Amino acid sequence: MNAPVMTASPIAVPPEFQSCFDRQRAAYLAAPEPGHDERIADLKALSRLLKENREELVAAINADYGGRSEFETLFAEYFVVLETIADATRNLGKWMKPQKRHIDFKTYPLAKNRVIPQPLGLVGVIVPWNFPLNLSFCPLAAIIAAGNRAMVKMSENSQALAKVLMRITPNYFPAEKLVFFEDGGGRGPAFSSLPFDHLLFTGSGTTGRSVMANAARNLTPVTLELGGKSPAIVAPDFPIKTAAERILWVKMFNAGQICTNVDYMFLPRGKEDEFVDHCRRLFKARIPDINGADYTSIIDQRAFDRLTATLEDARAKGARIVNLADGQNADAKRRKFAPHVVIDPTEDMVVMQREIFGPILPIKTYSDRQEVADYVNARDRPLAIYPFTNDAGLRDFYISHVMSGGVSVNEALLHVGQHDLPFGGVGASGMGHYHAREGFNTFSKLRPVFYQGPFSPIQAFFQPPYAGRPMKILQMMLKMRG
């Protein structure tokens, strides 16, 4: 006797979600495969939306943060997104072209195989707050290039930006093709429960599990871009000063609120003080006042309090903590949090148990490479690893022995911005890829099609009864394959 199937209670879907979904579904069924010219026009419209509303969009992001560096918004959001759209526009014809595949059996004369990229239909996108333009428009470049329609839900911490996007997007796209929604009132589960043809979520692992569970109700495939604790590994041969310059830049950028940030690092034993001294000098030269416009605020009070508690937990449990801002303390009113290093953290400290998502850098020391590999491999697979070494053998050891979503060598973070590289996690840091051609493929159905020729060997030679000629031909075919 079969066990009863247990089903969860249905999630109530707001009318605005359902009506948009129904409208886009009907439009897809009426015109399921936009041509090359229409997709190019849509990509150009996406670019125009950003360019023609730049000041208002930048101001909205600044308002949501309560102080977001304009340079960081223009560099990490605008420049990267516009480059991504341009790359998709340049390569779209090549990506759309059907792929030729070999015929498997010699018994199929004049037949042919093709793989045809076709739009999936409706794609849902759930966007985090930390890079809200980048993490909505970079996926949209791939989604639109693949010929799909999209519904995009912004974060509850991106209310000002969401309102601007909701207002201006109809000037560039009909609701049948692209719609933005604001969050609030716990509407996330309802959004992820819609029967999309694909769902992309970027955010925490905890929320990602809930999103995947909601999507599973409809067997909706998901791409999850999560996070975790990505380590940097400074080898004995690598200059400490250079490592400090490159790692500190990443920890300062967006006040460390980046999923691919260096979450902790390994230094050769005895190099801690040299590294910290370089960081203190560099930070003073680059950010003389953490309350200035070049240093981004922590997104909200809850995150600010969490970072404060994380430092206090490490201090109470015996860690040595250094404020790199030379005594400038956290400003709770502006939510400006000075960067700190935590030297020799222990595993019972919160700073080593959760993704930090802020300007706090734990430093662990080590003696040999296997010690590092064993430590990282004993934990969830990270979204990235960052080996710093000029030794090719050591570099390749870490790449082959420590699995992660991506790798930057002698740098941190920058693999994410390479337009011809896919981006994605592995294990607890996520699943699936987007960016580059892999993004186009993710949001396409790579549909296999077999075209029979004028003569069908199956129909001619393999009809029952199988004894006699059909079996003899099959035995001959098996013999050919050894």
Query: Beta-carbon neighbour count of residue 393 at 10 Å?
Result: 8
Confidence (pLDDT) at 322? 97
Query: Are 108 and 25 found together in one domain?
Result: yes
Listed in order, strand segments (DSSP E) in 182-298 are: 198-202, 222-225, 231-234, 264-268
- On the question of pLDDT at 172 being above 90, the answer is yes
Q: What is the CATH number of the domain that holds 289?
A: 3.40.309.10
H or E element at residue 362: strand 360-366
Query: Beta-carbon neighbour count of residue 371 at 10 Å?
Result: 12
On whether residue 383 sits in a domain, the answer given is yes
User: Mean pLDDT throughout 299-305?
Assistant: 96
Write down the pTM of the prediction: 0.94
Distance (Å, whole) CA 112 – CA 97: 16
Is residue 259 part of the annotated active site? The answer reads yes
Q: In a 10 Å sphere around its CB, with 0-12 CB exposed, 13-18 middle and 19+ buried, how is residue 6 labelled? A: exposed
Binning pLDDT at 50, 70 and 90, where does residue 264 land? very high
Confidence (pLDDT) at 6? 43
- Long-range contacts of 204-213, Cβ-Cβ distance < 8 Å, separation of 24 or more: 204/355, 205/428, 205/429, 208/430, 211/126
Query: Are 211 and 269 found together in one domain?
Result: no
User: Mean pLDDT throughout 405-430?
Assistant: 95
Distance (Å, whole) CA 263 – CA 359: 9
User: Mean pLDDT throughout 340-348?
Assistant: 97
- On the question of pLDDT at 28 being above 60, the answer is yes
Query: Are 151 and 264 found together in one domain?
Result: no
Query: Are 222 and 367 found together in one domain?
Result: no
* Phi, psi dihedral angles at 45 (to 5 degrees): -65, -40
**Contact status, residue 400 vs residue 300, Cβ threshold 8 Å:** no
Confidence (pLDDT) at 1? 41
Structure tokens at 401: 């022995």
Annotated catalytic residue within 182, 259, 279, 355: 259
Tens of pLDDT along 112-136? 999 999 999 999 999 999 999 999 9
Query: Are 271 and 379 found together in one domain?
Result: yes
On whether residue 237 sits in a domain, the answer given is yes
**Contact status, residue 236 vs residue 470, Cβ threshold 8 Å:** no
Domain housing 321 = 231-420
Q: What is the CATH number of the domain that holds 131?
A: 3.40.605.10
- On the question of pLDDT at 11 being above 90, the answer is no
Binning pLDDT at 50, 70 and 90, where does residue 38 land? very high
- On the question of pLDDT at 181 being above 70, the answer is yes
**pLDDT averaged over every residue in the chain:** 95
Short-list 204, 57, 200, CA closest to 133: 57
**Contact status, residue 259 vs residue 341, Cβ threshold 8 Å:** no
Query: Are 242 and 372 found together in one domain?
Result: yes
Query: Are 245 and 346 found together in one domain?
Result: yes
Query: Are 236 and 221 found together in one domain?
Result: no
Confidence (pLDDT) at 457? 87
Query: Are 353 and 273 found together in one domain?
Result: yes
User: Mean pLDDT throughout 240-249?
Assistant: 98
Query: Are 212 and 237 found together in one domain?
Result: no
H or E element at residue 450: strand 444-451
User: Mean pLDDT throughout 379-393?
Assistant: 98
Annotated catalytic residue within 72, 77, 225, 355: 225
Is residue 52 part of the annotated active site? The answer reads no
On whether residue 265 sits in a domain, the answer given is yes
Structure tokens at 439: 């993004």
On whether residue 5 sits in a domain, the answer given is no
- On the question of pLDDT at 363 being above 90, the answer is yes
Confidence (pLDDT) at 8? 57
Report the DSSP beta bridge partners of residue 153.
Answer: 126, 181
- On the question of pLDDT at 2 being above 70, the answer is no
Tell me how far the alpha carbon of residue 441 is from its chain's centroid. 15
Token pair 């203190």 is at which residue?
Answer: 280
On whether residue 2 sits in a domain, the answer given is no
Domain count, the chain: 3
Q: In a 10 Å sphere around its CB, with 0-12 CB exposed, 13-18 middle and 19+ buried, how is residue 161 labelled? A: buried
Give the least confident one: 38-52, 101-115, 155-169, 464-478.
101-115
For 93-147, give the DSSP string.
Answer: HHHHSPEEE--S-TT-TT-EEEEEEEE-SEEEEE--SSSTTHHHHHHHHHHHHTT
Confidence (pLDDT) at 107? 65
On whether residue 429 sits in a domain, the answer given is no
Helices (H) and strands (E) in the chain, counts: 17, 16
CB-based contacts of 303, cutoff 8 Å, min separation 6: 257, 335, 357, 358
Binning pLDDT at 50, 70 and 90, where does residue 104 land? confident
CB-based contacts of 318, cutoff 8 Å, min separation 6: 346
* Phi, psi dihedral angles at 406 (to 5 degrees): -150, 175
Binning pLDDT at 50, 70 and 90, where does residue 40 land? very high
Query: Are 34 and 181 found together in one domain?
Result: yes
On whether residue 426 sits in a domain, the answer given is no
> How many residues does the structure list for the chain?
482
Query: Are 36 and 166 found together in one domain?
Result: yes
- On the question of pLDDT at 163 being above 80, the answer is yes
On whether residue 85 sits in a domain, the answer given is yes
